Amino acid sequence: MQNKITQLQTLAFPNQQRTKTVVLFGLFILSLFVSLYVFFVGKIVFDVVAERGANMSIRASQSAISTLEVDYYNKIKTVTLAQAPSLGLAESNDTLYAIRTDKNTDTAFLLIKN
């Protein structure tokens, strides 16, 4: 009987080593969760910053492309048939057209035979 009481006291009132182990394990789990939280929040923040940088770069590139398109269309308006040979343009005599017979697309492709 005395042995049973001793066992119950050991389970009910654990010794210092067992308590220390449980507390250290709890602190380890808590620090693991805090570390994971900081990691994921940091990753989200850096991804948002990178996305904003990429969006600014895309806007700058689109603006540059738009400017180039305007310049291109303005230059095309000034080209005449008389100037075409001096610019290296030639009329195509052997132009072939290929049409896809696929049901989903009605696209014509221009093929130039050299």
Q: What is the pLDDT of residues 26-60, one digit of tens each?
A: 999 999 999 999 999 999 999 999 999 999 999 99
The model's confidence at residue 112, banded by pLDDT at 50, 70 and 90, is low
pLDDT at 45: 96
What number of other Cβ atoms are within 10 A of residue 24's Cβ? 10
Whole-structure pTM over 0.75, yes or no?
no
Q: Measuring CA to CA, how many Å separate 67 from each of 4, 71, 75, 79?
A: 90, 6, 12, 19
